[in-house]
Amino acid sequence: MFIALVITTVLLALIATNSAVMKLRKNEQVIESIHGTVGVPLRYLPVLAALEIAGAIGIVAGLWLEPLGIAAAAGLVAYFVGAVAGHLRVGDTKGVAMPVAPLVLSIAVLVLRIVTA
């Protein structure tokens, strides 16, 4: 079970970090989706990126520090629930697919971290 936790944790950390980097670099597709479609002001992109980076660091460190791993995974679940809700709020059924995959992975990491604690 711990091996599954390690694999899902590393995968989620890579996805969250990549997403954060794309926000910080103001990737055109990211800007179009988050700002253009969902309506998030551009000034919030660094905050969103910081939350993703903190979550990625927290889940990796949480492999050794269980409470931190649980808290970070729960934070990423909340983050991606918010992203899904933002897309659904504006009727963006096409764009909602992007945050659904990391949301499912975040839930898996959270459950695995809890059951392996």
User: Is-contact 53 45, C-beta < 8 A?
Assistant: no
CB atoms within 10 A of CB 27: 14
Question: Rounded distance, CA 38 to CA 18, Å?
Answer: 20
3-state secondary structure of 38: coil
Q: How do the residues of the chain divide into helix, strand and coil, expressed in percent and rounded to 5? A: 80, 0, 20
Domain ranges (residues) in the chain: 2-115
Per-residue pLDDT tens digits for 12-49: 999 999 999 999 999 999 999 999 999 999 999 999 99
Question: Rounded distance, CA 90 to CA 84, Å?
Answer: 10
Per-residue pLDDT tens digits for 74-114: 999 999 999 999 999 999 998 999 999 999 999 999 999 99
64-92 in b/e form (b: 16+ CB < 10 A) is: eeeebbbbbbbbbbebbeebbebbeeeee
Rounded to two decimals, what is the model's pTM? 0.95
